Amino acid sequence: MLLAVVTLTPFLGAVIPLLAIRYGRNFCALATGAVTLTALVLLLSQAPAVYRGDVITWSVPWLPMIGLSFSFFVDGLGLFFAALILGMGLLIILYARYYLSADDPLGLFYFYLLMFQGAMVGIVLSDNILLMLVFWELTSLTSFLLIGYWRHLPESRQGARMALIVTGGGGLSLIAGMLMLGHIAGSYEITEILQRGEIIRSSPLLVPTLLLILGGAFTKSAQFPFHFWLPHAMAAPTPVSAYLHSATMVKAGLFLMGRLWPVFAPTEAWFLIVAPVGLITMLIGAWIALFKDDLKALLAFSTVSHLGLITMLFGLGTPLGAIAAVFHIVNHATFKAALFMSAGIIDHEAGTRDIRRLGGLLTLMPITATLAILAAASMAGIPLFNGFLSKEMMLEETAHTVYAGIVWLFPVLATIGALLSAAYSFRFAISTFFGPPRDDYPHKPHDPPLGMWLPVAILVVPVVAIGVLPALTAGPIVERTALAVVGEALPDYKLAIWHGLTPALFMSLIALAGGAMLFGLYRYADAIRLALPRPDAKRIYDAVLSALVNGSRAIIDVTHNGSLPRYAGIIIGVIVAVGLVGFLASPHEAGTREIIPMSFPAGVAWIVLAAICVALLFWHGDRLLALILTSGVGLIVSLVFLHFSAPDLALTQISVDVVTTILLLLALNLLPKTTPAETDAAGRLGRGGLAAAVGLGVGALTYAILTRDFQTISDYHLAQAKPGGGGTNVVNVILVDFRGFDTFGEIIVLGIAAITIFALLDNALRGAARKTLESIRHPLQSKDAHPLILVVATRILLPLALTVAVFIFLRGHNEPGGGFIAGLIVAIALIMQYLASGYAWAAQRARIDSQAMIGSGVAIAGIAGLTSLFFDWPFLTSTYTHVELPLVGEIEIASAVAFDLGVFLTVVGVVMLSLAQISRVEERTERQPVPKGPMDIPLKQGRIVSSSKGGN
């Protein structure tokens, strides 16, 4: 449970800075830091158990049918990354308080930061890979908000979009790979997957699965050829850059490779793919970083290079390589965050990050310069700093690596990468801080307040401490973390400053000396760079994105032309084609069930139904006639239900048919009398052929099903309706009990549809829409709009209909009826009042608001479902009992009647809201007023007023 709390704390606390900002920026930063600190303290409380070798797990089923559980676990790897995320987050919170200006919404920044922080913690602590995927996508979304925080800057918005597109695309690849991994392993729990490595490695799907998973890891960690998005993310505020580049976003891919290392590392495919990708990324990132004049751009590409270094170490597939990778993750997080913050300080205080406009800051900003130089020395791999130790371990591993039979490939290229790293580190430190002070700085440089340089100082402490006393300061962390990565006993290794005269030492010395020489010859190196071909990854990305957009637009222009028949034709055509392919590709035999002989009434009904359908083909252009014929189809269908002993469905069909016919009649009054002219003969022939194909397909499928024996759930419902639901009307018991959740969702959808109709037709009462309606309505109006006989008949029938509705409602649990049918009967009775007496008369006498009725119905149904939770039953569980009443005798009372009441109210409210709105539009769009009589209601200034004094 504690692990879930650690993960959810940043999410739950994200709202705090939005509220705390009202009390000032200091209080807001303090409150935000308290949230992160709380999560960190809770996490570290598990550290003693983890360092004893325990793996702490916690799990609650979420969607067990698909293997998704709300499960977390923490081992050495998860503890290290989670502590890194939360600990670095504390420093970023402090730094951002002083870095962001008063014009920047600090509360919103901290909100984004905590949401991102929670997503990252969720990734590293998730035990279920499906849950991990949820957090993985959340990091893409929240990092988009962080990178685009300065939304007024075009480069910030572009960087955010680029990061989202690249990492989001990789996320899709990861989803596919993880689903395949879970399928192969037979479990989606990481702790179980790690135990089934042999099964996974022996699967024929190993390589596709590995490639898909690496697609997600490489995009997130900016590996070649996806390295270009990360430098463009530097458009974000420096606190964001420091956090994303050092401890969080880009480390997610490395974490994933480390987490799945025991499963994939023993395979040849892992080494052949991951190691060279890391090496190439290391070289490309370092080469580009050397020639960047913007400090943040230099550091961004250096991050790409170091991410490649770590990826390469994981890709070597050796335990010592994994140990070196873990060690460098620790070191890189400390010196890179310190350097980014230092670059932000320089920009904040000097007004520029351009190296060409800097220099001589050592005497003007001594504190910042000292801290940045120490961090840069670590990045360069100078002895007595932590970067030197992990770099030397990297060189030692590559010295023994043979790739494709080439002994020198990895050692030489890794040394060149280390050389370039030293060169750009020297350029960062020397060009920025050394030399004489200038007199043309945009701002007068000076050291920042304590709150800005203190986080840098805190990070520089381990840079030096680990470099001097590696075994004491970093030994336990590296050992426990690497043990979780390797998954078995670690080989002998030693974290020490001196390992003797090894090949790695000479490679390191060559890198440092070569880096210093390259920096000294920078102008010549830059000239060579300018003379060489320089493919721009961003331009390639823009070109690919532009091609995709143009291709999508071309497809849209062809398929999305605003024609509903075309859309329907494409969808239906694809369905028919897929069904036909499936039919032809599979063996099939004739059914064995005997065909029931057709009775005379059934044959007559079929002939009538076919005749109506044929008539619709010829006279569908006349909308009124088409509606009448369609109603005939509904009547025949209700007779079919009745023939097959489904009186509930027959009642429902007839009721729905009456209601929809009346509503459509009213709606047709607002439309032209006939449909638009048909297209050419070829178009009609094509649609006719498609319709024939659909009809034949559905008929064949129905015939195939009905002539075969199959097991349905009907027997269960028939057997359990009375003992389980307390009713003998199986249909009603299914609706309010067995499938009550479906019904609850349906009445919500009904309510939304009615409110949508209300909103859409409300516009028809004014403006251009009203004029359009007036122009298409027929100018002739009935001389007797409200016939007296119809008025009297409907008012007499109203109480009778309401009584029948009550009867149908109360008997619905055991006999044909129920809340849905009763609601339709009430709706029909009220509709008749509108038809007989007009909208104004009926609306004036309406006592209940239709929208309130819909809301009440949904609320009552929801409360009926929630009540079961108080008895520790699942949502919408119903019960029943029998009580003895005087004179009446024993009766059954079912709790489902409350849910059915909610259905009843929703149905009545939906129909009446739709009816009233259509009628209201008609009343307002009448072009010629009907001569006044005792039933007429005049309109004045858009409001309904009554000219009668006591009703009629």
DSSP state of 532: S
Between 893 and 19, where is the model more confident?
Answer: 19
Of the listed ranges 131-140, 222-231, 802-811, 938-947, the least confidently predicted one is 938-947
C-alpha 213/C-alpha 195 separation (Å) is 18
The rounded distance, in Å, linking the Cα atoms of 598 and 409 is 82
pLDDT at 938: 39
Mean pLDDT within 668-672? 70
d(CA 634, CA 617): 17
Check pLDDT > 80 for residue 706: yes
Helix intervals (H) in 727-879: 730-733, 740-762, 767-776, 788-811, 819-837, 839-845, 850-867
H-helix segments, 434-496: 450-468, 470-473, 475-486
pLDDT tens track for 323-343: 999 999 999 999 999 999 999
Q: Supply the pLDDT for residue 949.
A: 35
Cβ neighbourhood burial of 181 (10 Å; 0-12, 13-18, 19+): buried
> In the structure, what pLDDT confidence band is assigned to residue 934 with cuts at 50, 70 and 90?
very low
pLDDT, tens digit, 9 for 90 and up, residues 802-822: 898 898 888 888 888 888 888
All residues at 6 or more sequence positions from 90 whose CB lies less than 8 Å from its CB, including other chains:
33, 36, 37, 40
What pLDDT is recorded for position 773?
61
In sequence order, what are the beta bridge partners of 943? 940
3-state secondary structure of 950: coil
Q: Report CA-CA distances (Å) from 45 to 52, 769, 914.
A: 13, 66, 60
Beta strands in 177-275 (DSSP E): none
d(CA 507, CA 494): 19
- Which residues are registered as beta bridge partners of 889? 885
The pLDDT value recorded for residue 922 is 58
C-alpha 640: how far from its chain's center? 44
Whether 628 shows a pLDDT value over 50: the answer reads: yes
| pLDDT attached to residue 83 | 94
Question: Quick one: average pLDDT of 260-268?
Answer: 93
pLDDT of residue 416: 94
Q: Cα(161)–Cα(148) distance, rounded to whole angstroms?
A: 8
> Three-state DSSP class for 335?
helix
Q: What would the pLDDT profile of 546-571 be if each residue is shown by its tens digit?
A: 898 999 888 888 777 777 777 888 88
> Tell me, what's the pLDDT at 926?
46
Query: pLDDT digit string (tens) for 444-469?
Result: 888 898 888 999 999 999 999 999 99
Among candidate residues 732, 737, 896, the one with its CA nearest the CA of residue 814: 732
Q: Are 222 and 254 in contact (CB under 8 A)?
A: no
Q: Which amino acid is at 604?
A: V
**30-53 average pLDDT score:** 93
Q: If pLDDT is split at 50, 70 and 90, which confidence band does 925 have? A: very low
Residues in contact with 403: Cβ distance below 8 Å, sequence separation at least 6, in sequence order: 275, 276, 409, 410
Predicted local confidence at residue 214, as pLDDT: 94
268-304, pLDDT tens digit by residue? 999 999 999 999 999 999 999 999 998 999 999 999 9
* Residue 413 identity (one-letter amino acid): L
pLDDT digit string, tens, across residues 355-410: 988 888 999 999 999 999 999 999 999 999 999 999 999 999 999 888 888 999 99
3-class secondary structure for 580-593? HHHHHHCCCCCCCC
Query: What is residue 751's predicted lDDT score, i.e. its pLDDT?
Result: 87
| Helix runs in 469-592, H state only | 470-473, 475-486, 503-520, 522-531, 537-559, 564-585
Distance between the two ends of the chain, CA-based, in angstroms?
69
Residue-wise DSSP of 358-407: ---HHHHSHHHHHHHHHHHHHHHT-TTSHHHHHHHHHHHHHHT--BTTBS
Contacts of 695 (CB under 8 A, 6+ apart): none
Structural element, H or E, at residue 891: strand 889-894
What does the DSSP 8-state code read for residue 235?
G
Look at residue 738 in the predicted model and tell me its pLDDT. 84
* 112 pLDDT tier (thresholds 50, 70, 90): very high
How many angstroms separate the CA atoms of 872 and 866, rounded?
10
SS3 call for 893: strand
Provide, rounded to the nearest whole percent, the portion of the chain with pLDDT above 70.
Answer: 93
Tokens 């009992």 locate to: 881
Between 789 and 840, the more confident residue is: 789
Tokens of residue 448, six digits: 């920042």
Residue whose C-alpha is closest to residue 214's, from 142, 274, 279:
274
Report d(CA 916, CA 922) in Å as an integer: 10
Mean pLDDT on 633-649: 85
Q: Which residue has the tokens 């006044």?
A: 932
Average per-residue pLDDT in the chain? 85
Nearest to 317 by CA among 253, 411, 402, 252: 402
Q: How far is C-alpha 441 from the geometric centre of its chain's CA atoms?
A: 46
Q: Omega before 225 cis (within 30°)? A: yes
- The string of pLDDT tens digits covering residues 757-802 is 887 777 666 666 666 666 655 555 566 667 788 888 888 888 898 8
877-893 pLDDT, tens digit per residue, is 888 777 777 776 777 77
Report pLDDT for 253: 92
Q: Categorise residue 317: left if φ over 0, alpha if ψ from -120 to 50, beta otherwise.
A: left
Structure tokens at 57: 């797990």
Residue that has been written with the tokens 């499938």 in this structure: 739
